[in-house]
Chain A
């Protein structure tokens, strides 16, 4: 069974469009994350979220917004897509938002290409 899943696997779109990436976890975790991996393979956190708190990496443009319909899902909405948004986006989950001794589990990634 897939622990953290993402859809779509690939997304090709035009500049200026609005798109969403979906993430679901079946681990019963309370906290979910979005990470961005750029073309040079650098991985950076974008958001940490549970039902009480959203923590945003200060470098993330406000065109990006996480939406959580329930604790098993954290979708990523991107408005007015730009060429520089092309990357692989990884969702992850863990039990706690506060620091503790635990592991984050990653989804398979969504490869976004903006033309």
Chain B
């Protein structure tokens, strides 16, 4: 079964610091990759996605992620975080062998940005 690991459970940064959140998955075949964000008390919103093509994908709010197939990774980055980026971030994978088109989520990373 596919699995997704997010190594950082809690991250605390000051405003303007750079951010990188790690995400690794276990499936060796074709995958769709996603980062979702959950602001406090709100629902999941899509930040960015990778299906195919350029492994560096850009999302909303200045976020980007790089798919490195050899490392089974899809790390999320932002050059300069803002206080408003305080949220929970979830990496998700949908593997091509996956019955039911189900997303597998990582455990989430809670980001706190200090003003």
Contacts and interface: CB of A to CB of B under 8 A. Distances in A.
Interface of A: 31, 33, 35, 40-45, 48, 53, 55, 57, 90, 92, 94, 96-109
A59 to B, nearest CB: 11
B49 to A, nearest CB: 6
A96 B100 CA distance: 9
A94 B34 CA distance: 14
B71 interface: no
Contacts of B22: none
25 contacts: A33-B102, A40-B107, A41-B108, A43-B105, A44-B105, A48-B101, A55-B99, A94-B101, A99-B32, A99-B94, A99-B96, A99-B97, A100-B101, A101-B32, A102-B32, A104-B101, A105-B46, A106-B36, A106-B44, A106-B45, A107-B43, A108-B42, A108-B43, A109-B43, A109-B44
B108 A42 contact: yes
B43 A31 contact: no
Q: How large is the interface on B (under 10, 10 to 19, 20 to 34, 35 or more residues)?
A: 20 to 34
B95 interface: yes
Contacts of B99: 55
A30 B98 CA distance: 18
B43 A99 contact: no
B31 to A, nearest CB: 9
Contacts of B46: 103, 105
Nearest to B92: A43
B83 interface: no
Given A101-B32, A108-B42, 17 more contacts: A33-B102, A35-B103, A42-B105, A44-B105, A45-B100, A53-B100, A55-B99, A55-B102, A90-B43, A92-B103, A98-B101, A99-B32, A99-B95, A101-B52, A103-B46, A106-B44, A109-B44
Interface string B72-115: 00000000000000001010101111111111110110100000
